[in-house]
Amino acid sequence: MPLKPNRFSLGARLFISAAVCCALVLILAGFGLTTFYRRSAERGFDERLSVYIKELVADIASPPEAERQAIGDLGEPRFDLPLSGWYWQIVRLDGERPVVRTSRSIVGGQLPKLLDQQQLTPNARGLRESYISGPDDRWLRILEREIDVGEEGRFTVAVAAPADEIDGDIRDFRFALTMTFVLLGLALVASTIIQVRYGLRPLVRLGNAVGLVRTGEAPRIAGRYPPDLDPLAGELNQLIDANREILERARTQVGNLAHALKTPLSVMINEADAAEGQLSQTVKTQAAIMRDQVQYYLDRARAAALSGALGGVTEIAPSLDALIRTFSKISQGRGITGMHAVPTSLRFRGEKQDLEEMLGNLLDNAFKWAESTVEVGVEPAMRDQPDRIALVIDDDGPGLPPEAMADVIKRGRRLDETTPGSGLGLSIVGDLAKLYGGELSLHPSPLGGLRARLVLPSV
């Protein structure tokens, strides 16, 4: 199963991973700080309630009768407001009937005893701590303590206060913490973006340098890079040099092979021309076919070796100027005019000799059949293939029937045996175009003759 390409760039992967890690750390820190603050707020609230419990215990333990009448005077007016949420309660545990004394705020009700409600273990100060539902169904924070004053009896002292005061403090803390963490998160995101852009800048430079080599604007990767990227740049330069050396070697070997084969074939053809008879004619014909076939396959081998070359970029307009000037001189006696409207900025991503061979074969065919005019132009840019150009070569000759346009591109096919040629020109053009990822097609021309449409990679 083929692997799908990753949709995210290296910078995006670094940014997303950093953002996710920062978010997780901030969220976990937020939960931890909120939990810690809740415990701290509860301890502070419990300290206030424990002070009231100590005062109530002191009042109970005071021996004079006059002092007993002042029990519950804690200096907090909310203990006297009905259903204020601030309550105290004293319950005598010994005796036949429990004696209950409460603050005025309870309005005849009672607070539940934690010992009866929950099996809570007293803390180091002898206090039980919990949350309960109060007389008015408000959620209360309650502290309870048991005391033994000897002959005076055993008592349970409880003080309760609204838990929403704790919740309000926690809400304020959570809001402040959230705003702080949001600002901190934004600052971390901004710093991550700066770090990613700065850290990946050498990679971007290296990618741009490779692109310049690919488009032919630079022969090698230039510039200085950090120590961890400099070996990669060096290896890429060595790969580019090795590729060029292999291509030069292949070009030389192809040229040597072509010379080694063409020379014996030329000798055979010359010897056949000097002789007479059916045998000499047969040798001459077959040797000519062999020469054309050798040329065809050598051209294909050379094009296959050069089509993947790095840095091959050719300007189209200068090559067209030279080719049209040459064919115009050859056809000067027939009065054929050649022209082109190709912008000077248009460039072909490939070797110059391959471009000239393709255009030369197409122009040769156009000048051969044209009556007066040959024109070369460029079709509008293709939206689905922005890195491709489409050159069109038009002539005002007799043209071809639609059913013959695809057939004439096949190797060795000639529709008119009276004209000179091997029938390999259009086939070579088609093969070269395919090697570069392009194509050749024939269509009726607006001039009345034939239009050759050549699609090639551009820069």
Q: Where are the domains positioned within the chain?
A: 1-214, 230-306, 314-457
The predicted model scores a pTM of: 0.51
Residue 292: the pLDDT is 72
Residue 359: the pLDDT is 92
- CA pair distance 116, 272, nearest whole angstrom: 127
Quick one: tokens of 242?
């090795």
- CA pair distance 351, 457, nearest whole angstrom: 11
Quick one: tokens of 127?
């206090």
Examine domains 1-214 and 314-457 and report if their fold is the same: no
Q: In what order do the strands lie in the sheet with 139-148?
A: 100-102, 87-92, 154-162, 139-148, 127-133
If we measure between CA atoms, which residue out of 177, 178, 193, 184 comes closest to residue 18?
Answer: 193
Residue 392: the pLDDT is 93
- pLDDT means per 10 residues, the chain with 459 residues, are 60 85 91 90 87 85 55 78 88 75 82 68 81 84 84 83 88 92 90 86 86 76 85 86 78 72 76 77 78 69 57 83 90 86 87 86 90 90 74 91 75 45 66 84 90 88
Residue 412: the pLDDT is 46
Could you confirm whether domain 314-457 is CATH 3.30.565.10? yes
CATH T-level topology, domain 1-214: Beta-Lactamase (3.30.450)
Report CA-CA distances (Å) from 395 to 436, 440, 451. Answer: 25, 16, 7
Residue 353, judged by CB atoms within 10 A of its CB (0-12, 13-18, 19+), counts as middle
Residue 55: the pLDDT is 86
Residue 375: the pLDDT is 93
Report CA-CA distances (Å) from 252 to 219, 258, 302, 334. Answer: 21, 10, 10, 39
- CA pair distance 283, 297, nearest whole angstrom: 21
